[in-house]
Amino acid sequence: MPESKADKLAAVLAGESRYGLEIDSALRTIGHTLSADNCFKWFSRLDDSSPSFGESVITMLKYAESSAGEKLYDISLGDTWEDESIRPTEEEFKIPLRIHFRDKQAAYYQFHLFPPELDYITGWSRKREGASQLLLLTLRSRSYLDDFIAACRRNPHFVRIEEISEEEFWKAPSHGV
Total domains in the fold of the chain: 2
Residue 12 placed within a domain: yes
pTM score of the predicted model: 0.63
Residue 109 placed within a domain: yes
Gap between the Cα atoms of 139 and 101, Å rounded: 22
Average pLDDT of 3-19? Answer: 87
pLDDT of residue 97: 94
Domain range enclosing 50? 5-68
29 pLDDT above the threshold of 90: no
Residue 75 placed within a domain: no
**Amino acid letter, 99:** I
Residue 81 placed within a domain: no
Gap between the Cα atoms of 2 and 4, Å rounded: 6
Residue 62 placed within a domain: yes
Residue 125 phi/psi, 5° resolution? -125, 145
Among 2-11, 100-109, 117-126, the range of highest mean pLDDT = 100-109
Do strands 93-101 and 132-139 pair parallel, antiparallel, or not at all (unpaired)? antiparallel
CATH number at residue 141: 3.30.70
Check whether residue 14 and residue 62 sit in a common domain.
yes
Average pLDDT in the chain: 81
Residue 105 placed within a domain: yes
Residue 80's pLDDT band (cuts 50, 70, 90): very low
Residue 100 placed within a domain: yes
Tell me if 159 sits within 8 A of 133, measured CB to CB: no
Answer with the one of 35, 68, 101 that is the final residue of a domain.
68
